[in-house]
Amino acid sequence: MKTPSPFPLSARRTSALLLLTALTWLPGCKESDKGKDDAGPGGGPGETDTTRADLLKATGVCVEKTARQFLEASTALTGAVSRYAAQPDATTRAEARVAFHAAMDVWQVAEVMQVGPAAPRGAAGGAELRDNIYSWPLVSRCAVEEQVVSKSYETAGFPTSLVSRRGLYPLEYLLFHEGEDTACQGTSPIVAQGTWAALSSEERASRKRAYALAVAQDVNQRATQLVKAWAADQDNFANTLATAGSGNTVFPSTQAALNSLSDALFYFEKEGKDLKLARPLGMRECSTDTCPEHLESQFAGRSKANLRANVRGFRLIAEGCGEGYAGTGFDDVLVAAGAEALAQKLRERIAGAEAVFATIEEDDLRQALAQDKPSVRALHDAFKGVTDVLKTELVTVLDLELPQSVEGDND
């Protein structure tokens, strides 16, 4: 339970909005930007090529670092779920939930880094590892509940079953949803045949714990595969990205590699702005004032935390993956191309989006939608401020291609 503030809610929101305004106008300088103005606007083709190569190398290091952090978190999660499955009580369940939050905190950063092995198979170097770890929005609670009845999680074919039956979404449901109802309709066999209702509360809970352990173990194996794909002493995709150009079968040019990085950043547009915010706000694919059922994290109530982590992931690639976002990011490539004002604008827009979270008092967006919808709309608009720069000015200046998912989207 949150400690009540001595100040009225309206006063707190007013103060937070003033903070947002101030942060939006702060200079976007970071350590790696110092001295860039000395050479004048842009450093010519040579400097631009060097900075682009630096970005590819820095991104590979950043993605591998994040993948290793997730592997560590998912290993701890598997251990916590194993203890909960073996000795179920309030303490072990709470520990499993805490471990889930810690793992998801890292994964939501990685969501904006779907380059190479994490990307869909149709993308350059794609191996669909992301969907095998977390397939949202391709999820189905009913599909998970059908597995509880069938116990397919015990079969040898479980690791190759549909992604909607595996990954972090089912694990969230299994750890956090305490109801005994089912989301399946009458056409589902577990309803039509009465097999869900036939399970006792104890048997259903026991199966959920066993299923949760199978899912956690599978996620941990995928996390191991992701690290292996990027690690220098293993498959070394980081080097594949860093050496884009002639002779590279995955990225035959630096521009092709940059397009892959740009495509990853557009997670902020499609999944972030449109799916995680516009739909719940009732702005699209919703026939009522709000549609909280479209929020991410229906069971753990971390839709706000997920979006905050998405902003961090975006910022690590856009500005730099070092301490305080130092290092080479897309903003440095813009500066090298003579577009320092645009780089500054991008940094300010990202800082503005980050600052909006302080104006949302509620822990989860479900409560915020009900109690203060304008604060959620402000977050959507701040995301839009970033994506407007991304899909118009940035891609134009750097001659990048828009992903097919956003072509023709004027929002």
Whether 209 and 78 map to the same domain: the answer is yes
Residue 57 counted as domain residue: no
Same domain? 202 vs 285: no
Q: Which residues contact 380 (CB under 8 A, 6 or more apart)?
A: 273, 277, 278, 281, 283
Quick one: 78 and 29 in the same domain? no
In a domain, 248, yes or no: no
Statement to judge: residues 217 and 353 lie in one domain: no
The four Cα atoms 82, 85, 91, 97 give a dihedral, to 10 degrees, of: 70
Q: What is the pLDDT along the chain (411 residues), one digit of tens a residue?
A: 434 444 344 444 444 444 444 444 344 445 444 333 333 345 556 678 999 999 999 999 999 999 999 999 999 999 999 999 999 999 999 999 999 999 999 999 999 999 999 999 999 999 999 999 999 999 999 999 999 999 999 999 999 999 999 999 999 999 999 999 999 999 999 999 999 999 999 999 999 999 999 999 999 999 999 999 999 999 999 999 999 999 999 999 999 999 999 999 999 999 999 999 999 999 999 999 999 999 999 999 999 999 999 999 999 999 999 999 999 999 999 999 999 999 999 999 999 999 999 999 999 999 999 999 999 999 999 999 999 999 999 999 999 999 977 755 667
**What's at 115, amino acid-wise?**
V
Closest by CA to 290, choosing from 382, 357, 380, 164, is 380
> Among the three residues 235, 253, 284, which one is the final residue of a domain in this structure?
235
Examine the domain organization and report whether 226 and 300 are in the same domain.
no
CATH code for the domain of 221: 1.20.1420.20
Same domain membership, residue 272 and residue 230: no
Residue 56 lies in a domain: no
- Examine the domain organization and report whether 206 and 125 are in the same domain: yes
Q: Are residues 216 and 115 in the same domain?
A: yes
In this structure, is residue 107 part of a structural domain?
Answer: yes
Same-domain check for residues 203 and 285: no
Q: Same domain, yes or no, for 218 and 324?
A: no
How many beta carbons lie within 10 A of that of residue 330, not counting itself?
26
Contacts of 49 (CB under 8 A, 6+ apart): 254
Residue 409 lies in a domain: no
Residues 26, 84 share a domain: no
- Number of structural domains found in the chain: 2
Does some domain include residue 42? Answer: no
In a domain? residue 53: no
DSSP state of 93: H
Both structure tokens of 362: 């509620």
Token pair 């023709």: residue: 408
Domain of 120?
64-235
Residue 228 placed within a domain: yes
Residue 47 has a pLDDT of 73
- Give the pair of three-digit tokens for residue 163: 């992604």
Contact predicate 56/244, CB 8 Å: yes
Dihedral in degrees, nearest 10, Cα atoms 278, 281, 282, 283: -40
CA distance 384 to 274: 9
Q: What is the pLDDT of residue 129?
A: 98
Asked if 154 and 285 sit in the same domain, the reply is no
The number of angstroms, rounded, from the C-alpha of 395 to the middle of its chain's C-alpha atoms is 21
